[in-house]
Chain A
Amino acid sequence: MAVTTPDGSTVHTSLVQGWGRSFDMKWVVIGLCISVVAWLALIPLGFLIWQSFASTSTAQVPAVFTLENYATAFGTTDSLGLMFNSLKFAFGTAAFALVLGTFFAWVNERTNTPFKSLFFAMSIVPLIIPGILFTVSWIMLASPQIGIFNQIFRDWFGLATPLFNIYSLTGMIWVDGLHYAPIAFLLVTAAFRSMDPSLEESALMSGASVIQVAFKITLKLAWPAILAAFLILFVRGIESFEVPALLGLPVGLRVYTSAIYDAVHSYPSDIGLASAYAMALLLITSLGIYYQSRLSSQGSRFSTVTGKGFRPRVSDIGRWRYATAGIFILYCIFVVALPFLVLLWASLQKYYAAPSWAALHNLSFAAYGEVLAYPGFYGVVWNSAKLAIGGATVVMLLTSVICWITIKTKIPGRWVLDMLASLPLVFPGIVLGLSLMIFYLNFDIGIYGTLWIMLMAYVIKFLPYGMRYNSTSMIQIHKELEESAAMSGASWFTIFRRIVLPLLKPGLMAGWIYIIVVSVRELSSSILLYSPGNEVISIMIWEFWQNGQYIELSAFGVMMITALFGFLMVVQTLSKRFGVKDV
């Protein structure tokens, strides 16, 4: 840039040149992002649809167009039962989690129940106890054969038949519902907090009791948010893989996710049928997400945010506060204490045995040694670390550009980009795994069976999370901050690197950490994409379970939970210092 001459026209020309150059760079980056997102989100989906209409190809017979997969997937009484099971399971899980979560949100936000500081600590539990470990621990607690609860009731009360059977629809709903309750808690808490407290205070002044206020005012006002939370949980439930696979499959209780896994892993594997199931699953999740987003966008009639800073009022519920605290503590026991303790107990045994005085003498750390000496252990941990950090970094950087385009520019059709990046919300993990598997089996570019395909799965799956974290921060960056940088002569790339990214940092870091944590637990996509030699942590746990190595599984699980907990504690401490948003 010619800035040496103090002549006005020269400076002017140099500015125009500067803009011209940055203009080109901008379009390169934008174009690259759009094509990457479109490729990531659309191609596997399109291929999945095509595959669902294709017959199974063998060496002799090429695939032809057929409706047979759909006929098998929807036309038999068996398949109707499958759909029914899936819906019942998802509905039950969502309803149970929502009732628990809403109750805890109300107790925490509106009553003087003791131990309140624990409520938010509880909400990170699903982050540190992965679904597969949680499910396994509940098998150890309540399976008819080895379940500790059943043994206690048998020994103490002389019951002949086991009291609890975790291998049932009720058992599945119980385990998944307990695990998802913190999500419901966070969603409903947000709704309760955005409410003008005087709406409830005026009901109280009108003579309504605390319970009347809760049911006639608080819940009614939060109803759209609660319904949206229900849909989110319903979609989570229908996508859930660990619980149906570990609790349903052994007794032939199949839902769509476990049926897909079954179809792929049976011999010969039936990809067409799996694809048809996947289409059914996609249809249900798409409907759920669609209604949820409609509900969230039309909440204006009930919008009760006044922006006025009242302290939320807390009702004295008298002696009932001991009851509410009791229910919460019971929940903590069911969701943290018992699962962790049963894993810890199992990890200290030589052979799996229920807790007893006799077994207490056999405690040893042998299992931990075995896990650490397991062939490929460090490789597995290293794989998980590479995938988690790599995936999180790619997602956050990619979505930062996408968010910039969708929020800061007026490019026509930018909503398409927004929609594409949010599309993976409707992909259940197992469907994503299936579609990537089929696509890269057919179009061999050398990534099938490597870590790259898993990285791709993680990037696609967590793209919507990155969008959410980045867009909230991006909205807060004032346009003039960029414009003044442009007026100072910076190119688009420089502006993005020196102005936008640093200002995004709090959201960027929070999203990055969150994606790392959820990547480490990812199972439902990885299960169809891993191959021997590139297992990850969650797959190793899965294999331990399949091999009946409960002791090693428990030791590994305890180490994993401790490590995740430690990681989050370190992050929490650091984030206070560096102003990272809450994860």
Chain B
Amino acid sequence: MLSVENLSTTYQAPGAKPVLAASNINFSVPTGRLFTLLGPSGCGKTTTLRSIAGLERPSKGVIKAHDTVVYSSAGNIFVAPNHRQFGMVFQSYAIWPHMTVFQNAAFPLQVQKKRLSSKDIRDKVMKVLAAVSLDHVEEREATRLSGGQQQRLALARALVMEPRLLLLDEPLSNLDAKLRDKMRFELKKMQRELGLTTIYVTHDQSEALALSHEIAVMNEGKIVQIGSPRDIYERPANTFVADFIGTTNFVEGTVRGGADDRLVVDTRIGQLNVNAQPGISIGANVSLSIRPEDVHLSDTAPAPSSNSLFVGTVRAKVFLGECQDFKIDVNETQLLARAHPSVRTLVGEQIHIAIDPEKCTVLAA
């Protein structure tokens, strides 16, 4: 397992003001889990990963891997990256162009402290190359591999040393879209089978949602939310997360009243029923996040229920096959909606909207 406590990393470019690239990062990853650092570029996710790797020297905090402290500012401990035994896959793959496939994968075994016989090295390397299905090209020059093969070789090289932790820095971002989808499944399968504790860095939210046990969303050097993929998507902690993960409608409003576990919010599109939320009291200004797929559309008026009901005008629609995207005006506010292809209302006509209180996320404005 890995635990990161109060980690901060500062960049000091010569002659420039120090930049706090990652500040006060806290998280822990149980053994065998895949933990993703997700955020836009410049949010500090790569800095955090490189600090865990030991490629950057943090300015304060503690990093523990399997109860071994690899960094502690208070204890003045800094284990050099080559002594941490963490496998890492770089965004550019960093395949050494002067070596063959086999030599690339064998390198970690050849340089490690524990001497292995060349037969042992060969066995281990061939096993791991077989696992990423590169065993048939072991003698090929590494530069003559395709992008996907290079990516798998980089993974093999990281795995051959039986790392205590696997670090992946945007490993799929250099592949074309189709290959990326395929590798996403392979990576997930391999991680689950090997049970390797893995830290994954990406800016691609769908990748993060598809692969992770847990996600930390980062912005401006800080973690803004940690949770399971479902948590992050369905219950974003703030407008940044709601906006960054997927598409959403933000509706501003003021809490008018409430009973039991329900609140009523006055907004420009009308009154909305939402679930009560700790810390949100009557009179507060809030922002409601409603995913397009949670804006239910129907050609005729639905039966009354706890759902909030509205009538809007279809401004535009796009037919996508398995679904349709709508732009709907409700009291001069535009809502995005994703609906089943069976909805037949035409552009310019009136349409009925129902919103489930469960699906409205209340965020402090």
Contact = CB atoms under 8 A, between A and B. Distances in A.
Interface of A: 196, 198-199, 201-210, 212-213, 216-217, 220-221, 223, 301-304, 306, 308, 311, 313, 316
B250 to A, nearest CB: 35
Contacts of B112: 207
A346 to B, nearest CB: 39
Nearest to B80: A316
Contact of A206 (B13, B108, B141): B108
Contact of A313 (B11, B55, B111): B55
Contact of A199 (B81, B84, B94, B113): B94
A189 to B, nearest CB: 17
B195 interface: no
B53 interface: yes
Given A203-B107, A301-B143, A208 B82 contact: yes
A196 B94 contact: yes
A196 B92 contact: yes
Given A212-B111, A216-B111, A205 B81 contact: yes
Nearest to A303: B97
Given A301-B143, A316-B80, A204 B55 contact: yes
Nearest to A304: B97
A273 to B, nearest CB: 47
B111 A202 contact: no
Given A205-B86, A208-B111, 8 more contacts: A199-B94, A201-B81, A201-B94, A202-B154, A203-B111, A207-B83, A209-B82, A212-B111
Contact of B91 (A198, A199, A203): A198
B111 A308 contact: no
Contact of B55 (A201, A208, A213, A301): A201
A316 B108 CA distance: 20
Report which residue of B81, B94, B113, B161 has the largest number of chain A beta carbons within 10 angstroms of its beta carbon.
B94
A302 B98 contact: yes
Nearest 7 pairs of A and B residues by beta carbon: A206-B108, A202-B94, A198-B94, A208-B111, A198-B90, A205-B88, A207-B112
B81 A204 contact: yes
Given A201-B90, A202-B157, A313-B55, A221 B96 contact: yes
Interface string B73-86: 00000001111111
B212 to A, nearest CB: 22
A304 B93 CA distance: 12
Contacts, number: 81
Contacts of B84: 205
23 contacts: A198-B90, A198-B94, A201-B53, A201-B81, A202-B88, A202-B90, A203-B107, A204-B80, A204-B82, A205-B87, A205-B158, A205-B167, A206-B157, A207-B113, A216-B111, A221-B98, A301-B141, A302-B98, A303-B97, A304-B97, A311-B11, A313-B55, A316-B80
A203 B90 CA distance: 11
A32 B86 CA distance: 65
Contacts of B111: 203, 206-209, 212, 216
Given A205-B82, A206-B157, A198 B92 contact: yes
* SS of A interface (majority): helix
How many residues of B sit at the interface, in one of the four size bands? Answer: 20 to 34
A223 B97 CA distance: 12
Most buried by B among A202, A203, A223, A308: A202
Interface in B127-160: 141, 143, 154, 157-158
Contacts of A306: 92
A203 to B, nearest CB: 7
Nearest to B108: A206
Interface of B: 11, 13, 53, 55, 80-88, 90-92, 94, 96-98, 107-108, 111-113, 141, 143, 154, 157-158, 161, 167
A86 B92 CA distance: 46
B161 A207 contact: yes
Nearest to A117: B14
A220 B88 CA distance: 22
User: Max chain B CB contacts within 10 Å: which of A203, A217, A221?
Assistant: A203
Contacts of A217: 96
A118 B53 CA distance: 31
Contacts of A206: 82, 107-108, 111, 157, 161
B146 to A, nearest CB: 17
A318 B13 CA distance: 21
B92 A207 contact: no
B51 to A, nearest CB: 13
Nearest to A306: B92
A193 to B, nearest CB: 15
Nearest to B57: A316
A274 to B, nearest CB: 45
A155 to B, nearest CB: 46
Nearest to A302: B97
B335 to A, nearest CB: 41
Contacts of A221: 96-98
Contacts of B83: 207
Contacts of B13: 311
A154 B83 CA distance: 51
Contacts of A204: 55, 80-82
A479 B279 CA distance: 63
Contacts of A311: 11, 13
Contacts of B81: 201, 204-205
Contacts of A199: 94, 96
B96 A207 contact: no
A199 B143 CA distance: 13
Which residue, A201, A213, A308, has most C-beta atoms of chain B within 10 A? A201
A208 B107 contact: yes
The residue in A205, A216, A303, A313 that gathers the most chain B C-beta atoms within 10 A of its C-beta is: A205
A133 B13 CA distance: 39
Contacts of B96: 199, 203, 217, 220-221
B254 to A, nearest CB: 46
A206 B163 CA distance: 9
Contacts of B161: 206-207
A352 to B, nearest CB: 45
Contacts of A316: 80
B92 A308 contact: yes
Contacts of B141: 301
B163 to A, nearest CB: 9
Nearest to A314: B57
A249 to B, nearest CB: 44
A198 B83 CA distance: 17
Contacts of B87: 205
A446 B261 CA distance: 108
A209 B112 CA distance: 9
A306 to B, nearest CB: 5
A456 B210 CA distance: 72
Contacts of B80: 204, 316
A47 B236 CA distance: 84
Which of B88, B112, B161 counts the most A-chain CB atoms under 10 A from its CB? B88
Contacts of A304: 97
A460 B142 CA distance: 45
